[in-house]
Amino acid sequence: MKEVFINIERCTACKSCEIACSVEHSRSKDLFTAISEYPLPIRRVHVEKALSFSYPVKCMHCSDAPCMAVCPTGAMYRDEEIGSVHVNKERCMGCWMCAMVCPFGAITADPYMKIARKCDFCRKKVKEGGRPSCVEACPTDALSFGDVDDLTKRKRASAAETVAKAASMAKEEGRKVTPLDLLRIIGGI
Amino acid sequence: MKIVIIGNGPAAISAIEAIRQFDMDCEITIISKEGEPAYTPCFLHRYVSGEIGKERLYMREDDFYDRKRISTIFGVAVTEVMPMNNKLRLSDGRELTYDNLLVAAGSMPVIPKREGIEGEGVFAFRTISDADRILRSLKESKEAVVMGAGFIGLEIAEALSLMGATVTVVEKEDRILPRMLDGEIAEVVKRHVENKGARILTGRSIEAVKRTKNKIKGVMLDNGEIIPCGMLIVAAGVRPNLEMLKNGSIKTNQGILVDDHMRTNISNICAAGDIAEIEIGGTRKVNPIHLNAVKGGYIAGCNIVGLDTRLDSHFEDMNVVTLFGLSVLSLGTQSGERVLKKRDSKGIVKVYLNEKGRIQGIQLLGDVTRGGVYLSLMRRGIPVADRPYTLSPYPNYGLVFAGIKTAR
Ligand SMILES: Cc1cc2nc3c(=O)[nH]c(=O)nc-3n(C[C@H](O)[C@H](O)[C@H](O)COP(=O)(O)OP(=O)(O)OC[C@H]3O[C@@H](n4cnc5c(N)ncnc54)[C@H](O)[C@@H]3O)c2cc1C
């Protein structure tokens, strides 16, 4: 199953994902007309600052999703094909019990319909083989999309690369390459 | 294996789904004294106000019981549980045997003893038939009094006033939503509700129901004042439905005592939902909220099919309610050593901390969409005493510091 991975170190708070998400959920799917639509399209990803970092907050499509458990109308459901969690607009009554238990704050209130809105994983695009719009829009690869195995493999590769770079730096400086030195150079401590 | 479930609320439905996830073959029978398919009472007030139809109350599709291969006995109550011979007695005289029993019969509104309270014109607000009775009565009288300003009392007060009735809510505590809010936030909500047209009297109790012949004419308060009305709705708390446990072999306190596996003292009997009093690590708790029913039902279902599943800890007191368009959310207990408060155009965030700086209680008014983030901070016991920026669930020094006041 494919997932969106978030790399907090790469996020620069440019908010491209927010814009792309709004456009994706607009009627016209065009930035310049979307901003004058009524009702305004609602984005489901929010870039929040956290200490010296920024972080795109969105639904993580949890496997043991508390929002699904708590939903009294059965409006929260999982698309078994791609594993994503969705709100059935016809069933949602805007009681906000999902918001009460979501540890990510990923539920957005629809101010017009007074119901819960959240990341829908760009379900149609993903099922047709595409990537979610936020991922497409991210210029720094803070958001990436892929198979969990692929992504962890990529993560291992990039860790290896960082360590290798640090090792060669240490060598150039004529230092002994101890793990502690490496960590210092990478900035781990 | 023959499984019998008493009750057809969220706890029962969740148990059915758990059992069927692992075992499609065992025999399951569900008994409910109501004739309706499973529904949630959470939106009954919107049914009364006409905002939604009855069909929106049902929790599952029409074919749920067929798909899950459940035999249903609806419109019949269980009158006695007989654990000695694994039998139930039903209100129609039948007896039923079981191998495993789940008691998920929920709770019932408490009707306090008051002069004249028995008789027509006095309603509880729990079931679809209660709602239908209230709707019928609305045709005859447009003057209503609600006893109790908990969330159920206020929800029905809103619905009645949207239906054009003159409503007075009488609350014996000094504030509305006393189990959810502190005085300050309660006052904000009270003013909002009053502006929308419902009258609220706090610190007053209803002493008697006045009738002429049998018809209800009004209620008398503790200060002697008489409020004329054609109906009284009692929303003064709930109590587990324990009547069927007559012979005393299942241990009870306020509710049926269960462990973290939802097991009672009798090995083939579980209980879950509003009826259960769960004991974890020495603390007992009856927790009549939807989430607790769903989780408890799920755990009971898993254990019935032989999976070792348990509840790690009690759910915090939590609730969220929307009254005349204003949402308010509460988590934990609203008292503590220190208070942090933030107010902006989106609403109010108020956090109570204990002496160690850990979150004890949270109230959100207006924008409640970040509630779960605070819940998670509270659960993990993250101290925030010296870091008020944590008031924003996503800490942001500059912006949030500016808005923070430390009260008291
Ligand atoms: C008006 C209202 C609004 C609410 N709003 C909220 C909310 O916003 N948030 C929240 O968290 N919670 C809310 N609650 C509470 C929530 O609905 C309950 O916690 C939840 O329904 C409990 O589920 P349960 O399955 O344990 O019991 P119930 O839902 O009470 O179901 C009990 C079932 O047992 C059956 N039964 C009872 N006695 C017998 C018998 N002797 N024989 C056979 N069957 C029997 C009943 O017919 C029913 O089917 C609300 C409750 C009410 C009444």
> Residue B215 is part of a domain; what is its CATH number?
3.50.50.60
Q: What pLDDT score was predicted for residue B389?
A: 47
ipTM of this complex > 0.90?
Answer: no
Q: What pLDDT score was predicted for residue A173?
A: 76
Q: What pLDDT score was predicted for residue A157?
A: 84
Cite the DSSP H helix spans in B60-107.
64-67
With the most atoms of ligand 1 within 8 angstroms of its CB, the residue from B126, B289, B295 to mutate is B289
B309 part of a folded domain? no
Out of A73, A95, A99, closest to residue B369 by CB:
A99
B80 to chain A, closest Cα gap in Å:
30
Based on the domain organization, do B165 and B230 belong to the same domain?
yes
- Counting the structural domains of chain A, the total is 2
A68 part of a folded domain? yes
Instruction: Give the span between the Cα atoms of B82 and B90, in whole angstroms.
Output: 11
Instruction: Give the span between the Cα atoms of B160 and B313, in whole angstroms.
Output: 38
B317 part of a folded domain? no
Q: What pLDDT score was predicted for residue A168?
A: 81
Based on the domain organization, do B53 and B28 belong to the same domain?
yes
Based on the domain organization, do B14 and B28 belong to the same domain?
yes
Q: Which residue of A has its CA nearest to B58?
A: A73
- The verdict on A68 touching B (C-beta cutoff 8 Å) is no
User: Between A and B, how many CB-CB pairs are < 8 A?
Assistant: 94
In which domain, by residue range, is A93 found? Answer: 59-118
Instruction: Give the span between the Cα atoms of B372 and B213, in whole angstroms.
Output: 52
Say what the alpha-carbon torsion angle B384, B388, B393, B395 is, to the nearest 10 degrees.
Answer: -110
Based on the domain organization, do B338 and B294 belong to the same domain?
no
Q: For residue B78, which atom of ligand 1 is closest to its CA?
A: 42
Q: Is B218:B227 a contact under the CB 8 Å cutoff?
A: yes
Q: Which residue of B has its CA nearest to A72?
A: B40
How is residue B293 written in tokens?
């029913």
Based on the domain organization, do B133 and B159 belong to the same domain?
yes
Residue-wise pLDDT for A85-132, tens only, equals: 999 999 999 999 999 999 999 999 998 889 999 999 999 999 999 999
Q: What pLDDT score was predicted for residue B408?
A: 35
Q: Is the Cα torsion angle A153, A154, A157, A163 positive or negative in sign?
A: negative
Closest CA to A98 of B223, B329, B338: B329
- The verdict on A189 touching B (C-beta cutoff 8 Å) is no
A64 part of a folded domain? yes
Q: What pLDDT score was predicted for residue B193?
A: 98
Based on the domain organization, do B231 and B247 belong to the same domain?
no
Closest CA to B327 of B192, B196, B201, B199: B192
What does the mean pLDDT of chain B come to? 92
How is residue A63 written in tokens?
């496997």
Based on the domain organization, do B128 and B218 belong to the same domain?
yes
Closest CA to B7 of B25, B24, B23, B28: B28
- Counting the structural domains of chain B, the total is 3
Residue with tokens 């942090």: B340
Closest CA to B280 of B331, B251, B306, B315: B315
Chain A residues with CB inside 8 Å of B394's CB?
48-50, 55, 57, 105
Counting residues of chain B whose pLDDT is more than 70, the rounded percentage is: 94
Q: What pLDDT score was predicted for residue B176?
A: 98
Based on the domain organization, do B129 and B228 belong to the same domain?
yes
**CB burial of residue B315 (10 Å; 0-12, 13-18, 19+):** middle
Question: What are the backbone angles phi and psi of residue B125, rounded to the nearest 5°?
Answer: -135, 90
What count of other Cβ atoms lies within 10 Å of the Cβ of residue B347?
17
Chain B residues with CB inside 8 Å of A105's CB?
369-370, 372-373, 393-394
Closest CA to B146 of B71, B199, B110, B190: B199
A47 part of a folded domain? no
Q: Is the CB of B5 under 6 A from ligand 1?
A: no
Q: Which residue has the higher pLDDT, B69 or B374?
A: B69
Max CA pair span of chain A: 67
In which domain, by residue range, is B83 found? Answer: 2-108+239-304
Based on the domain organization, do B98 and B150 belong to the same domain?
no
Out of B325, B329, B396, closest to residue A100 by CB:
B329
- The verdict on A95 touching B (C-beta cutoff 8 Å) is yes
Whether a cis peptide bond, with omega within 30° of 0, leads into B383 is no
Q: Is A167:A159 a contact under the CB 8 Å cutoff?
A: no
A125 part of a folded domain? no
Over residues B354-368, the mean pLDDT reads 91
Out of B290, B298, B370, closest to residue A97 by CB:
B290
A54 to chain B, closest Cα gap in Å:
9
B72 part of a folded domain? yes
Based on the domain organization, do B97 and B31 belong to the same domain?
yes
* Amino acid, res. B39: Y
Based on the domain organization, do A161 and A113 belong to the same domain?
no
Based on the domain organization, do B126 and B232 belong to the same domain?
yes
Q: Is B258:B101 a contact under the CB 8 Å cutoff?
A: no
Based on the domain organization, do A66 and A112 belong to the same domain?
yes
Based on the domain organization, do B189 and B231 belong to the same domain?
yes
Q: What pLDDT score was predicted for residue B395?
A: 44
Give the number of residues written for chain A: 189
Q: What pLDDT score was predicted for residue A187?
A: 59
